[in-house]
Structure 1
């Protein structure tokens, strides 16, 4: 149970950082930040695994700087995809 709570908190922080990087912070609420952070973490782990062979994400229990960086990259990519869908440009 505690693992899920920590995962949601970290996902929210990562989603919030990604929304600041992509300049969508004023348009997203806390729930969207959590969703972007959690899904972006999974996406970042998959991308990291494809590119370097050592992706890892916060969801897999690997809690280090590499996994946090890949999670943030995944959240930024996901936020760019959301921008493309909603606005027609990646910004």
Structure 2
């Protein structure tokens, strides 16, 4: 059951980040990948800043912010 929640959080976070940065998502698999990598980035950033978030909504917020930072950085490198 945990892996399904993990994938769901990744999909939601990836879709939200894609919508914020790009105006649309990346498809189901792309959203999951962006969301999972974003969760790692967001987790490291929140840990560095000493911020704690818990629960389902906190995980989505952390992963979404990390994914937005990831996509923004990728956009800067692409230019």
TM-score (norm 1): 0.73
CA RMSD of aligned residues (A): 1.9
**Structure 2 unaligned regions, length at least 5:** none
Structure 1 runs (4+) deviating above 6 angstroms are none
> Higher relative contact order by CA 8 Å / sep ≥ 6: 1 or 2?
2
Work out whether 1:63 is the aligned partner of 2:55.
Answer: yes
TM-score (norm 2): 0.82
**Structure 1 unaligned regions, length at least 5:** 57-61
Indicate the structure with greater helix content: 2
> Which structure has the bigger radius of gyration?
1
Aligned to 1:5: 4
Aligned to 2:64: 72
